[in-house]
Structure 1
Amino acid sequence: MRVAIVHYWLVSMRGGEKVVEALCDLYPEADIFTLVCDHEKISDKIRQHRITSSFLQKIPGARRHYQSLLPLMPFALESLDLSQYDLVLSSESGPAKGITPSPQATHICYCHSPMRYLWDHYHFYRAGSGVLTRLLLPWIAPALRVWDVTTSARVDAFVANSRHVADRIEKYYRRTATVLNPPVSVDDFAPVAATEDFYLTAGQLVGYKRVDLAVRAFTRMGRNLVVIGEGQEMAALKRMAGPTVTFLGRAPFPVLKEKLARCRALVFPGTEDFGIVPVEAMASGRPVIAHASGGIMDSVVADHTGILFDDQSEDGLIAAVERFERMETTFRPDLIRAHAQEFSEANFKRRMQAIIDHELDRRRQQHVLRPAPQPAHAGRARGGRAPAAAARQLRNDP
């Protein structure tokens, strides 16, 4: 069985690329297809596979400014030749499922998210774009949405990384998805004996993550907050921050690991498709204070591994922190870490393989049970023999 793994772009190592690594473990001989690839920024595990990039790779600056090439992505994906593959595993967040597989191939799409900038985050992305993008997006987005919905029919089975994403797949594509949370390297994290007097928020500093709520709330409360990450919101966040808020920028992994283990709690005020960092915090034995929305509802157990709050506002977050501090001693690091083990890489690979095997079996059964086509003059000849054409058909039908 020839296997192809399709990923939207390979220019960093984040949650989506961790899924690709897990698929590489399941299928070590698989070939990888992508829109653009920066070989220096991907892992050795991925680099060991044969990687085919689209024609976008040849455009100067594509590896850095690939998102600006959105109008060309459908053409680039459909130019990739996957006609010789029996199993296609697409990893979708930007466009990836839009490849054209063989009719006999089984295409399973692991969906991190339908393209946010075309659907539920469209107005947010447009508002934060440059002048040219803001002018062009209303003209090109409708056609891209049509293409996105149409290509969902090329997928035999969808797998969503959270119930939140499964709901969006149902809404936009009218397809049902199996929920399988993404793999997290939980064994890379561990609790420590003593914590310190600070809260932590970590991730890209972009508007929809609502780090501004955390900065304003902790400035107002006078509590210590450490912010790890970088992004377009950095300057604005620093302007609104008081003396109790510390920015570490893009911290190396040992620093992130240490801060996750020693913080009083991780603060997660935005809405994410899933959210890897909260699971990493729980693997470190630390509780999570999070807005009750998105993928966090799959990972945090209210009042056992963290605090969930409904009011996504400064006051709502302050009330959640105060509630956490009243019950802080009830959170047990060993139980929190045990819960995080459910999201291990081993569990992901075991369940993903079961999903793939089930879909392959379903497709085989569908093929075997389909009635064999009959010639126009089908019937029995004298002596009870089938006509020669029908006999050949029966011999050749698998």
Structure 2
Amino acid sequence: MAKSTTVTSAAGTRDSLEGLRIAIVHPFLISQGGGEKVIDALARMFPDAEFFALLLDRSSLSGQMQGRTIHTTALSRFPRLKRFYQHLSPLYDLAVRQFDLRGFDVVISSGGPGAKTIRVDPGCLHIHYCHSPVRYLWDQYEVWLKRLPVAMRPLFALSARRQRARDFAAAQRVDTFIANSNYIGARIRRYYQRDSITIYPPVVVDRPLSPAERGDYYLTVGRLVPGKRTDLLVEACNRLGRRLLVAGQGPEYEALKAAAGPTVEVLGRVDDAVLDDLYLNARAFLFAADEDFGIATVEAQSYGLPAIAYGHGGSLEILENGTDSVLFAEQTVDAVAAAIRDFEAREAEFRADGIRRRAQRFSEEVFIKGIRDVVLKR
């Protein structure tokens, strides 16, 4: 039976956040992505909050996080570990025990493995902002298992079974789950047997409007990891001879760069000013992931930029086929290429001002109000 989300806490029923001691736990502060944008918004919302991270790379921190109090673990003493952090999952629960969360009134954990397994004081309100139940333990377990050499699969299966039990137990100790989309809310119910509240991630929606005459390139932005399926976008643009700019960093960077043909450029990480210009002048935004939500898609929308995207998961809560996007039904190169051709046949139908209005649903103001209401138990 799902545990009720009605809680009692040190916060009580209040009308102000003033005086609350707040901790924010996020497992990996080692790159910039959608999860880190949530952390940035929480940092603005709670200027006196303390932060806790299993792995920390201060060079990757946003301007918002520079100078903030961030506690980390022994794992951060080994800089090379950030390249292999996904293989260290059996150590996360042990590492998180180094955090001293005594005396906090509210703990907001965010992100994946290790975040919600923290222990808090009796009476402390523990809110977990869930981007997804840990994917390699739950919905993507079989995918991860098949990627491994046959000899390693029994060890992974044993480790995952133990981690899955701990992850489920930790989910029962959380007072309130917040899902980043209705899609993830359904996954929380399936795997953790818990109810949740949906509060969409915050996006800066006050952007300059994309001009009527856009550039000649397509754009994709995000972490360069296998699950984003950026490889499909690269191959489709190679095949069609279309110009594609890929902005982001991650373990797939070298492989994507090697796969890129003469019309595709893998830029790596770019600063905010460059990214603004890329969004502003792109022809359309390309997105092939089965995403839990998709902050980069909303960012593109906030510039009035149409999308060509995989029509599944959280993307369906952002995009409407034919109104602000062309959606494709399969994660294949053929499907991406066909969607690009479809978009080009009716490109003039997509109006930037109408697309941008749709992004207002995901503003930071809406996010902050939702979080505030949860903390104050309204």
Farther off after superposition, 23-32 or 56-65: 56-65
Alignment of 1:197-216 (within 5 A): 197-216=216-235
- On the 8 A contact 2:127/2:175 being kept in 1, the answer is yes
Structure 2 CA distance for aligned equivalents of residues 253 and 31 of structure 1: 25
Q: Give the Å deviation of 1:143.
A: 0.3
Give the structure 1 partner of residue 285 of structure 2: 266
- Between the two proteins, the alignment pairs up a number of residues equal to 359
- Report the CA distance shift for 1:250/1:125 in structure 2 as closer, same or farther (over 3 A): farther
Give the structure 2 partner of residue 171 of structure 1: 190
Alignment of 1:208-247 (within 5 A): 208-234=227-253, 236-237=255-256, 241-247=260-266
Q: Which of 301, 322, 329 in structure 1 is aligned with 2:341?
A: 322
Structure 2 CA distance for aligned equivalents of residues 271 and 322 of structure 1: 21
Give the structure 1 partner of residue 364 of structure 2: 345
- On the 8 A contact 2:83/2:251 being kept in 1, the answer is no
Alignment of 1:9-48 (within 5 A): 9-48=28-67
Q: Give the Å deviation of 1:89.
A: 1.0
Alignment of 1:63-78 (within 5 A): 65-78=84-97
Q: Give the Å deviation of 1:138.
A: 2.1
Structure 2 CA distance for aligned equivalents of residues 30 and 239 of structure 1: 42
Q: Which of 194, 206, 215 in structure 1 is aligned with 2:213?
A: 194
More helix by share: 1
Q: Give the Å deviation of 1:214.
A: 2.1
Q: Give the Å deviation of 1:145.
A: 0.5
Unaligned runs of 5+ in 2: 1-19
Q: Which of 305, 309, 315 in structure 2 is aligned with 1:286?
A: 305
Give the structure 2 partner of residue 380 of structure 1: none
Give the structure 2 partner of residue 310 of structure 1: 329
TM-score by length of 2: 0.85
Unaligned runs of 5+ in 1: 362-398
Give the structure 2 partner of residue 355 of structure 1: 374
One-letter amino acid of the counterpart of residue 87, structure 2: S
The Cα offsets for residues 178-199 of structure 1, whole Å up to 9 and x where unpaired, read as 1111112233554235212222
Higher relative contact order (CA 8 A, sep 6+): 2
Q: Give the Å deviation of 1:17.
A: 2.1
The Cα offsets for residues 317-346 of structure 1, whole Å up to 9 and x where unpaired, read as 233223222322121101111211222222
The Cα offsets for residues 130-171 of structure 1, whole Å up to 9 and x where unpaired, read as 899756422211100000000001111100111221121111
Q: Give the Å deviation of 1:75.
A: 1.9
SS of the residue corresponding to residue 232 of structure 2 reads helix
- On the 8 A contact 1:189/1:280 being kept in 2, the answer is no
Q: Give the Å deviation of 1:234.
A: 4.6
One-letter amino acid of the counterpart of residue 346, structure 2: M
Structure 1 CA distance for aligned equivalents of residues 235 and 67 of structure 2: 45
Structure 2 CA distance for aligned equivalents of residues 2 and 233 of structure 1: 39
Give the structure 2 partner of residue 107 of structure 1: 126
TM-score by length of 1: 0.81
SS of the residue corresponding to residue 297 of structure 2 reads helix
Percent same amino acid at aligned positions? Answer: 41
Q: Which of 154, 160, 169 in structure 1 is aligned with 2:179?
A: 160
- Report the CA distance shift for 1:205/1:55 in structure 2 as closer, same or farther (over 3 A): closer
Structure 1 CA distance for aligned equivalents of residues 359 and 234 of structure 2: 27
Q: Give the Å deviation of 1:278.
A: 1.2
Alignment of 1:46-125 (within 5 A): 46-58=65-77, 61-62=80-81, 65-125=84-144
- Report the CA distance shift for 1:9/1:315 in structure 2 as closer, same or farther (over 3 A): closer
- Report the CA distance shift for 1:213/1:41 in structure 2 as closer, same or farther (over 3 A): closer
- On the 8 A contact 1:8/1:34 being kept in 2, the answer is yes
Q: Give the Å deviation of 1:288.
A: 0.4
Structure 2 CA distance for aligned equivalents of residues 246 and 22 of structure 1: 31
One-letter amino acid of the counterpart of residue 342, structure 1: R
- On the 8 A contact 1:21/1:45 being kept in 2, the answer is yes
Q: Give the Å deviation of 1:61.
A: 4.6
